[in-house]
A = this chain, B = another copy of it.
Amino acid sequence: MTDLRKKLILITNDDGLHACGINKLIETIAPLGKIVVVAPNGPRSGMSSAITSTNPIRVTLLKEEEDLKIYACTGTPVDCVKIGIDRLLPRKPDLLVSGINHGSNAAVAVIYSGTVGAALEGCIIGVPSLAVSLTDHSLNTNFSEAAKYGKSVAEKVLKEGLPKGICLNLNIPNIPKVNGLKVCTQTTGHWTKEFEEMQDPSGRNVYWLTGEFFNEDPGNVNNDEWALTNGYAALVPLHIDMTAYNFIEQIKKWEE
């Protein structure tokens, strides 16, 4: 019976419902099944896996068609996923796609990204989940290649599924013709020169986040940053179990 039903697909993002990226994603993914969009009502970039517990969350149904429902949500990307699956969808979806993000979520950005946070949340709940990002922050960039690769990976996930506890992080370089898809590892690195100091109109000091990514392993051809720099779409499987298993033995001696 299940196989005859249309696939149910949850779409979200962290740039908000009005962003070009999510609208291109909805249009591209629509042929794959029944789409429910639950996305923030405004920008939530850099929200990581934040959840809203001190305030209530509001949800507004904006569109209701046969195979497309769109809800705006006042919460974070993770709130959107939680409330979508717990309250708005008729059943657990067959797939969650988060994006298309305006800007790269490669390397250590997985830790800060709301787009990736949403995919990790789908994964925690047991839904095959995929985050898709384009390495360009501009509002009206061309999402064609990103959408093409996003759809292709989404189809593979719908067909083959994903193991429990694992989701996917896909980044696409902002070039007219991508060289292909490479399966990669998360690049090790950190940001430097992270703040600009400026003064508000009253002359008081404020700090504004900025920064440059420092790649700690630039020569590693397995890394997602290497793939992107060399014109490939980079696909990194992520897991939600953050335990550093190989360090457990070393600190067993600390046990009391």
The proximity string for A residues 30-51 relative to B, scoring 1 for CB distances below 8 Å and 0 otherwise, is 0000000000000101111111
Q: How far is the CB of A104 from chain B (nearest CB, A)?
A: 14
Knowing A50-B47, A181-B254, A206-B56, say if A195 contacts B111 (CB, 8 Å). no
Give the secondary structure class of A's interface.
Answer: mixed
Residues of B within 8 A of A125 (CB): 190
A4 within 8 A of B: no
Q: Residue of B at shortest CB range from A57?
A: B207
Knowing A48-B50, A111-B240, say if A254 contacts B200 (CB, 8 Å). no
The CA-CA distance from A92 to B82 in the complex, in Å, is: 38
Residues of B within 8 A of A126 (CB): 190
Q: Which of A57, A78, A198, A209 has the most CB of B within 10 A?
A: A209
- Give me 17 other A-B pairs in contact (C-beta within 8 A), A58-B204, A185-B241 excluded: A45-B53, A46-B50, A48-B49, A48-B78, A50-B114, A86-B195, A87-B195, A87-B207, A108-B240, A111-B121, A165-B188, A183-B251, A185-B248, A186-B241, A235-B254, A239-B244, A240-B242
